[in-house]
Amino acid sequence: MVIILLCSILGILGSYGVAWFGIRINTVSNSRTAFSALKGNALATLGIPLRSGMSVGLLLVAVELFFMICILMFLKDLAGPCFIGFAIGESLGASVLRICGGIFTKIADIGSDLMKIVFKLPEDDPKNPGVIADCTGDNAGDSVGPTADGFETYGVTGVALIAFLALALAQSPGISAKLIIWLFVMRSLMIVTSLISYFVNEGISKAKFGGKKDFDFEAPLTHLVWITSAVSIVITFVASKLLLGDFKDAAGVPQPALWWVLSAIISCGTVAGALIPEFTKVFVSTTSKHVREVTNCSKHGGASLNILSGFVAGNMSAFWMGLVIMLLMFTSYHFSQNPALLSLMPPAFIFAAPIFAFGLVAFGFLGMGPVTIAVDSYGPVTDNAQSVYELSQIEGISNVKQQIKADFGFDADFENAKYQLEKGDGAGNTFKATAKPVLIGTAVVGATTMVFGIIMLLENKFGGVINALSVVQPQIILGLIMGGSVIYWFTGASCQAVVTGAYRAVVYIKENMKLDASTASDKDSKEVVRICTEYAQKGMWNIFIVIFCFALGLPFFDPYFFIGYLIGIAFFGLFQAIFMANAGGAWDNAKKIVEVDLRQKGTDLHAATVVGDTVGDPFKDTSSVAMNPVIKFTTLFGLLAVEIAVEMSLKYKANVKLDPHTTNWSPWVGGFFFLVALFFVHRSFYGMRIPEENAGTDTKLVLPHDHRHE
């Protein structure tokens, strides 16, 4: 028990460790990117954030792989439970960082952005006390959160497949071991394929864009994704042939087709990892017709039509991406019916072959893992590079051009530098958006594999589980409804934390804005950071306690109800997250079109798109992204909770035969945690809402949550 707990702590520390590395690398890259833009070399300005993202992605996958190999080698007999403990720790750490970081960054972003409308300030004006908090939030929400999220995504997906093989092939440990080794080899090769693809793409980019002062910043990033996908698929087939070419099933019968069947299934996920970003760009790229539509709506319809058009983009994207995921999963299902794969499954679990295939699809999603993280990390670096440039006020320094020429040997081009940084930020917005559906897709597809662990547990204890899982069973239907309810509460609670915190930040900034000063004071900037931190922590505690209590309490009512609940949060969460992420991305880049392409900052059109962007901020960077670790944490922790609930149920049934008056504590335990969850659900709004303002005795407005007047 102690060893398993230590593995959970290791998972938490792993999430926090890679998050620290991510924020450290991105912070260093911010200033380097800003300085590089002065040289006028567009490709170099693009290359720095991409290189920093690759370093984060490679370290993330390597550390996770190292930890899992150590568990497998040194904790042999306890490897299975320790993997589960490690994965729970990863998910716990990532959930906290994603929720807290997502709330913090959007409180700061909204507080800073709204000042551009109120006081007609330019982007990242140093006199705005919210700008420093905004830069801090970009790192907290867009560096720390995604890095920890990526770390636990790779770990949990691997653990789901290992748990599946250990349970389904318990009677054939040799076959299970060979397939687990194959999985670890595939995970190791993703590092190699990503490195090869990065250097190939770098060479192609230098050849195509090396001498140009301006080009489409999204092109090299797109090329990198597709090159990595192609290389990963080729390496998958080659390595599988070498490892599984002579595979024999439990009966000793050769299965020469297994290697290409498994490779084809993984490739479905790898293709999805490239296709989903392409479909995402249709709805969020600065060149997409949907985003152009949002901008056009804003010209005469203002913020109202801007917001409605963004809703259209988000909803449309959920349909098309759902269709892509469905078709690729259907393809994997087709391959799962190949006799070579069916021969792996014991007769009692022949139904589980498609579940294994879906798990491999999730595994394939991550086949180019470091590159997915790299293009995701590209965004916060370019965003903060723009802020660093503005905050430096370099253009106002006397004789700065001569000094740069003397010290560094080039002529600084300030106007082109600002333009390139803004273009880079637009490309970063697009590719931050492309990574989100990939990560949430792995959560949902991988969750189906983890649910199989619960089904296996119930089958071993009670039998007849498959019939009880029919959708006509009331427990399953009720669970689906409960899961959907929690997703919509989660969306509201996370947005409410942003709303309340942003309100407090806006009030403080408006009261303390000094338009005659060149920069905001340290005291005012720190206070905005404090406000963001306070409400991020308050919102995180409310949300996390509810998720924890539901995951622990619901299995005690009925395990089948809980399975329905898990499926509900997975599939409702998938479409809610895709809708919110892409609607937010469309609003964000509609503003970027006005700023970069139309160059109409400070106009009514710009104000309308800023309002749309602030609506999209919690959509894309708070609620949607946090669903990924929340779904995985609920599934993993629920696996343990179901086992505890089942053991209590069996113990009660044994005791009631001896004493008919024995109390069944299961519903009492479930009821207790359910009531605790409901208390914090209530608190997530009524304890976080903005009280009405009232006049103080000195006729000054007493501001809500303003402790100076309490």
Residue 693 pLDDT: 65
For 485, phi then psi, to 5°, come to: -60, -45
Residue 216 pLDDT: 87
Q: Is-contact 509 699, C-beta < 8 A?
A: no
> Strand locations in 508-601, DSSP E?
none
Distance CA 172, CA 550 (A): 36
Residue 446 pLDDT: 74
597: helix, strand or coil: helix
Q: Is-contact 114 614, C-beta < 8 A?
A: yes
- What is the distance, to the nearest Å, from the Cα of residue 432 to the centroid of all Cα atoms in its chain? 10
346: helix, strand or coil: coil
**Helices (H), ranges, 337-348:** 339-342
Residue 659 pLDDT: 80
For 25, phi then psi, to 5°, come to: -65, -45
Ranges of the chain whose pLDDT falls below 50:
695-697, 701-702, 705-710
Q: Is-contact 390 141, C-beta < 8 A?
A: no
Residue 708 pLDDT: 45
Q: Is-contact 302 344, C-beta < 8 A?
A: no
Structural domain containing residue 637: 2-709
pTM of the shown model: 0.89
Q: 42-74 and 369-392 are packed helices; what angle lies between their axes, rounded to 10 degrees? A: 130
Residue 709 pLDDT: 41
Distance between the two ends of the chain, CA-based, in angstroms? 48
Residue 426 pLDDT: 83
